[in-house]
């Protein structure tokens, strides 16, 4: 029998209008593909019923299972329950047990459920409520045209908990005879463009229906090669994924950075701990992005000593001790200056590794010698320094800044990975 197909529908005007980012769909896809589903489509839909009902009906008509996130709150614009009922051609009914769950959750936190919360206790006839022990909004499950549809809260923490508690066990049982377990590997790549990497891996990426598929995604210049292997025997699937991952890593050469889905900052911090080293940062054009990436990781303070955002030349001089003569002779965007910035950060913090970055992020400020996208980097390790320059594609200020941050983290990580265990 064929692999069951999954579609995910993320609901919310904030997603459609760009005020929020849909991260739920990727998480759901990753979890359920590992279970044995094939994720075929994501849809992001606004709150109006005129948009939501057709989106749900279309997903149900195509997929073997549909997961919906969002639109289960207590306000008038939370319409997922109503849209599910409309798509199924049934009415909504008040569910006493859901109301009890909501009331208990609120009372446990010293609050009182209001009439608005009663909206969250509505269940389409023929459907069932899923208890939410992590928030006020119960989930829903119902069949529309023979297709199971699960509706979960849009809050990521609630969605993740309920997916694991309610959805995965039910789907594992229902589709047991059709699930083909998938094994995944992810390789992080830094250096080539997405197009260049795609060309290099074109033969592997051309296979769309085989036991192993390969895809490439890009995030501000940090590339991910995702390898998915399927086989009825999970051991065989894992072995296939590992073999292809090993082969692709060789093909990537020096552009390969590391394996796994961890963010670069988290890997840098782990490797610093392994090596017994610490790190400081000095940033100009990135404006603290590198420091933010590092401190977004819990526990980073044990190896990250801190950093400086020295956006002006005066701050470079006063905070990091960059000689005025260097700035005057070479300019702030130069290898001598970033070398001095890194050395100054190391001296001021006592860190054994320090990095520095200065560049022209745009949209203005470029010259013939230093066009927009010119970025200089410095790295010092135990007093030994090196500097280098990259011409980053000038496709927007944010891209230049984020790509520069990944360049710094990649350089530190490569330095650490070369050190003996």
CATH number, domain of 207, equals 3.30.70.2860
What is the share, in percent, of the chain residues with pLDDT greater than 90? 91
The whole-number pLDDT of residue 421 equals: 67
What is the share, in percent, of the chain residues with pLDDT greater than 70? 100
| Domain boundary pick from 174, 207, 228 | 174
Q: Considering the chain, what is the average pLDDT of its residues?
A: 95
Domain of residue 186, residue span: 182-259
294 and 268 Cβ atoms separated by less than 8 Å: yes
Give the integer Cα–Cα distance in Å for 95 and 98. Answer: 5
User: Which of 70-84, 176-190, 403-417 is predicted least confidently?
Assistant: 176-190
Tokens 């790295």: give the residue: 379
Residue 358, beta-bridge partner list: 376
| Domain boundary pick from 259, 293, 311 | 259
User: Which residues have C-beta within 8 Å of that of residue 67, sequence separation ≥ 6?
Assistant: 6, 7, 8, 9, 28, 32, 149, 150, 151, 152, 163, 167
The whole-number pLDDT of residue 134 equals: 95
Give the integer Cα–Cα distance in Å for 159 and 162. Answer: 5
The whole-number pLDDT of residue 337 equals: 98
For residue 234, pLDDT over 90 is answered with no
| Domain boundary pick from 202, 224, 259 | 259
Closest CA to 188 of 290, 118, 256, 140: 256
Computed on alpha carbons and rounded to an integer, the radius of gyration of the chain in Å comes to 26
pLDDT digits (tens, 9 = 90+) for 44-94: 999 999 999 999 999 999 999 999 999 999 999 999 999 999 999 999 999
Give the other-Cβ count within 10 Å of 100's Cβ. 12
Is the same domain home to 393 and 333?
A: yes
For residue 420, pLDDT over 90 is answered with no
Is beta strand 279-283 parallel, antiparallel or unpaired with respect to 139-144?
unpaired
The whole-number pLDDT of residue 1 equals: 60
pLDDT digits (tens, 9 = 90+) for 132-166: 999 999 999 999 999 999 999 999 999 999 999 99
């Amino acid at each position: 029998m064929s692999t069951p197909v999954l579609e995910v529908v993320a609901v919310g005007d904030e997603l459609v209008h760009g005020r929020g980012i849909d991260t739920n769909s990727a998480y759901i896809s990753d979890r359920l593909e590992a279970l044995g589903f094939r994720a075929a489509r994501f849809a992001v839909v606004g709150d109006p019923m005129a948009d939501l009902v057709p989106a749900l009906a279309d997903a149900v008509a195509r997929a073997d299972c549909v997961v919906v996130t969002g639109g289960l709150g207590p306000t008038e614009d939370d319409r997922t329950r109503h849209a599910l009922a409309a798509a199924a051609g049934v009415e909504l009914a008040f569910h006493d047990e859901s109301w009890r769950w909501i009331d208990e959750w609120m009372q446990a936190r010293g609050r009182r459920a209001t009439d608005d919360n009663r909206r969250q206790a509505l269940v389409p006839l023929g459907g069932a409520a899923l208890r939410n022990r992590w928030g006020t909004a119960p989930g829903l499950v119902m069949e529309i045209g023979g297709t199971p549809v699960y509706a979960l809260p849009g809050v990521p923490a609630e969605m993740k908990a309920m997916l694991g508690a309610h959805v995965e066990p039910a789907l594992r049982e229902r589709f047991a005879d059709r699930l083909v377990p998938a094994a995944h590997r992810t390789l992080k790549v830094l250096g080539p463009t997405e197009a260049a990497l795609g060309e290099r891996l074109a033969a592997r990426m051309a296979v769309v229906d085989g036991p192993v598929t390969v895809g490439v995604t890009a995030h501000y210049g940090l590339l991910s090669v995702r390898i998915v292997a399927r086989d009825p025997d999970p051991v065989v699937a894992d072995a296939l994924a590992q073999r292809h991952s090993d082969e692709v890593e060789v093909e990537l050469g020096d552009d390969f950075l590391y394996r796994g889905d961890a963010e670069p900052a988290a890997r840098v911090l782990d490797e610093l701990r392994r090596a017994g080293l610490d790190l400081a940062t000095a940033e100009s054009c990135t404006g603290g992005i590198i420091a933010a990436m590092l401190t977004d990781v819990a526990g980073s303070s044990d190896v990250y000593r801190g950093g400086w955002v020295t956006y002006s030349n005066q701050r470079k001089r006063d905070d990091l001790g960059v000689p005025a003569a260097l700035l005057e002779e070479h300019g702030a965007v130069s290898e001598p200056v970033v070398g001095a910035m890194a050395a100054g950060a190391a001296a001021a913090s006592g860190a054994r590794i320090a990095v520095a970055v200065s560049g022209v992020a745009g949209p203005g400020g470029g010259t013939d010698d230093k066009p927009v996208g010119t970025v200089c980097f410095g790295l010092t390790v135990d007093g030994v320094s090196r500097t280098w320059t990259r011409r980053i594609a000038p496709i927007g200020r944010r891209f230049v800044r984020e790509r520069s941050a990944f360049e710094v983290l990649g350089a530190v990580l490569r330095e650490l990975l070369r050190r003996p265990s």
